Amino acid sequence: MDDLLDRLRTSIGADHVLTEDADVAAYVVDWTGTRAGRALAVVRPGSTEEVAAVVAACAGAGVPVVPQGGNTGLVGGGVPDASGNQVVLSLGRMRRVREVDPVAGTVTVDAGVVLADVQAAAEKVDRLFPMSLGSEGSCTIGGNLSTNAGGTAVLRYGMTRELVLGLEVVLPDGRVWDGLRGLRKDNTGYDLTQLFVGAEGTLGVITGAVLRLFPATPRHATAWVAVSSVDAAVSLLGLAQQHAGVHLSTFEIANRQAIDLVLAHLPGASDPLGEPSDWYVLVELAGSASDDGLDETLESLLGEAVEAGCATDAALAGSPSQRSALWALREGISEAQKVEGATLKHDVTLPIARLAEWADAMGPRLQEVCAGVRLVTYGHVGDGNLHYNLNAPLTDGGHSDDDALRAAAADLTTAIYDSVAREAGSISAEHGLGRTKAAAAASYKSDVEVDLMRAVKQALDPAGLMNPGVLVPPAPGASA
């Protein structure tokens, strides 16, 4: 292995090949703090050519590569396993916005550019890059593409795969595929770009991307709405679509438990409504500078919602700072859950029409598995996507009983996944599979689907060195 490390130092400079425990520490543990591995080295190439040199050297030495962006992934796909034999390839130095073309509506970036920086580059030319996640200050475009990230703008603009036109990828043997084309129309064969989107680093390393831009939406009307149930939230969604049409940009749900955690742990957070409610919806309409009537549209929508019984109260943002405060209640939930104690995440989608009945039935069933488990339910209800997350029961002294949650974790997750599968839903709406869910996802897919996934992996990465153990479970009897 010393030969490989020497070769890597020669290719990208000794300063960018990290091997000391203190230097690699932040790269081998995930955001949740529950997935920790070991690395042979962490390498930080500064260009596509350097990424290619690293991947070729690792391929030559038979050493697995784990691509990593901002390390905000929630399924353990961007951190190495416990073997200490894998090289973590961080894109953190590749942060160049290569080109912005407002007329074509494209921005071309290095894969290591942080999502918030892409949003800012678009804003500078009066355009919008709509993807928005709670982690946008640290996640990278390469990670967003590789997980096909969702977030709070999917309702209007779609998942990451709908926001990309072309890619540059270093293949598992070190060759570079230059597919950095910004064409809207290109029917010249298999869609290779889309093959790498959502591949979680198992087919190659994304080094650059051409992304789509949209007209800017500087005007917003935002409300925090109390609703009595998931069913009421789904009815409100129907009304919002009717009233606001294309202007409806956000429709996020949270239960009271989630908001209680934010109020307890997020400095400065306050409840915008006087009376507590079991559920809340964050609704936002967005429009161009000439869209004058958004506030009126939102007010009339809410008036009708109260009359129809699908909303009980609402607070409208009267200023940008009030808007930010409402958004912070929603975006602070992941962090608040983590501060509270042990957490179990379930990122599920169901047909929207089935969501309410499913959620109502699931709660009591989980109490039978783990008495007192706290349901922290929130997410992108407009996309049929709930984060059906759990926090540990409280002890008699009011502390998070993390051991109780860990002891029941497997049974809780199986109860949820089995039930989602019966509803023809998905056990990963937007976070991907990583190491955490690869085996479970395969167990709910048909043999045909798993065979096709393995065939794609085998065709592009026959040596199985790109992020092994992630997304595609090894075939029975295989060593990797």
Binding positions for ligand MLT, rule: CB under 6 A:
74, 134, 333-334, 345, 379, 387, 389
Query: Shortest distance, CB of residue 258 to ligand MLT, whole angstroms?
Result: 10
Q: Are 149 and 131 in contact (CB under 8 A)?
A: yes
Q: Which is nearer to ligand FAD, 111 or 221 (CB)?
A: 111
Other beta carbons within 10 Å of 16? 20
List 45, 92, 150, 384, residue binding ligand FAD (CB under 6 A): 150
Residues 6+ apart with CB under 8 A from 77: 146, 147, 200, 201, 432, 433, 434, 435, 467, 470, 471
Q: Which does 345 bind (CB under 5 to 8 A by kind): ligand FAD, ligand MLT, none?
A: ligand MLT
Q: Shortest distance, CB of residue 198 to ligand FAD, whole angstroms?
A: 9
Site for ligand FAD in 73-102 (CB under 6 A): 73-74, 77-78, 91
Q: How far apart are the first and last CA of the chain?
A: 19
71 binds, among ligand FAD, ligand MLT, none (CB under 5 to 8 A by kind): ligand FAD
The least CB distance from residue 306 to ligand FAD, in Å, is: 29
Please say which residue, 144 or 426, places its beta carbon nearer to ligand FAD.
144
Angle between helices 320-331 and 333-340 (to 10 degrees): 50
Rounded Cα–Cα distance for residues 77 and 67 (Å): 9
Name which position in 45, 142, 287, 393 contacts ligand FAD (CB under 6 A).
142
Taking residues 196 to 225 in sequence order and writing x for each that binds ligand FAD by CB under 6 A, - otherwise, the string is: ----xx---xx-------------------
Q: Does 249 bind ligand FAD (CB under 6 A)?
A: no
Q: How far is the CB of 294 from ligand FAD (least distance, A)?
A: 24
When the beta carbons of 35 and 345 are compared against ligand MLT, the nearer one is 345
**HEC profile for the chain?**
CHHHHHHHHHHHCHHHEECCHHHHHHHHECCCCCCECCCCEEECCCCHHHHHHHHHHHHHHCCCEEEECCCCCCCCCCCCCCCCCCEEEECCCCCCEEEEECCCCEEEEECCCEHHHHHHHHHHCCEECCCCCCCCCCCEHHHHHHHCCCCCCHHHHCCHHHHEEEEEEECCCCCEEEECCCCCCCCCCCCHHHHHCCCCCCCCEEEEEEEECEECCCEEEEEEEEECCHHHHHHHHHHHHHHHHHHEEEEEEEEHHHHHHHHHHCCCCCCCCCCCCCEEEEEEEEECCCCCCHHHHHHHHHHHHHHHCCCCEEEECCCHHHHHHHHHHHHCHHHHHHHHCCEECCEEECCHHHHHHHHHHHHHHHHHHCCCCEEEEEEEHHHCEEEEEEECCECCCCCECHHHHHHHHHHHHHHHHHHHHHCCCECECCCCCCCCCHHHHHHHCCHHHHHHHHHHHHHHCCCCCECCCCCCCCCCCCCC
When CB distances are held under 5 to 8 angstroms depending on the partner's kind, the choice from ligand MLT, ligand FAD, none that residue 127 binds is none
CA dihedral for 451, 453, 455, 458, sign (positive or negative): negative
CB of 275 to ligand FAD, least distance (A): 28
Q: Which does 149 bind (CB under 5 to 8 A by kind): ligand MLT, ligand FAD, none?
A: ligand FAD
Q: Which stretch binds ligand FAD (CB under 6 A): 211-219, 281-289, 356-364, 430-438?
A: 430-438
Site for ligand FAD in 324-363 (CB under 6 A): 334
Find the binding residues for ligand FAD in span 23-42 (CB under 6 A). Answer: 31
Task: Report the partner that residue 389 touches, choosing among ligand FAD, ligand MLT, none (CB closer than 5 to 8 A by kind).
Answer: ligand MLT
- Indicate which of ligand MLT, ligand FAD, none lies near residue 332 (CB less than 5 to 8 Å, by partner kind): none
User: From the CB of 381, what's the least distance to ligand MLT, in Å?
Assistant: 11
Letters for 452-471 (x = contact with ligand FAD by CB under 6 A, - = none) are ---------------x--x-
Segment contacting ligand FAD (CB under 6 A): 3-11, 18-26, 139-147, 452-460? 139-147
Residues 288 to 317: which contact ligand FAD by CB under 6 A?
none
Give the number of residues in contact with ligand FAD, rule: CB under 6 A. Answer: 37
Q: Given candidates 128, 133, 232, 355, which one binds ligand FAD under the rule CB under 6 A? A: 133
Choose the one of ligand FAD, ligand MLT, none that binds residue 68, judging by a C-beta under 5 to 8 angstroms depending on kind. ligand FAD
Q: Which of ligand FAD, ligand MLT, none sits in contact with 294, Cβ below 5 to 8 A by type?
A: none
Half-sphere exposure at residue 130, Cβ-oriented, CA atoms within 13 angstroms? 26
Considering only residues 158 through 187, tell me which ones interact with ligand FAD, judged by CB under 6 A.
Answer: none
Closest approach, Cβ 165 to ligand MLT, in A, equals 25
By Cβ distance, which residue is nearest to ligand MLT? 334
- Nearest Cα residue to 146 out of 86, 222, 89, 230: 89
Q: Which residues bind ligand FAD (CB under 6 A)?
A: 31, 66-74, 77-78, 91, 111, 133-135, 139-140, 142-144, 146-147, 149-151, 200-201, 205-206, 334, 430-431, 434, 467, 470
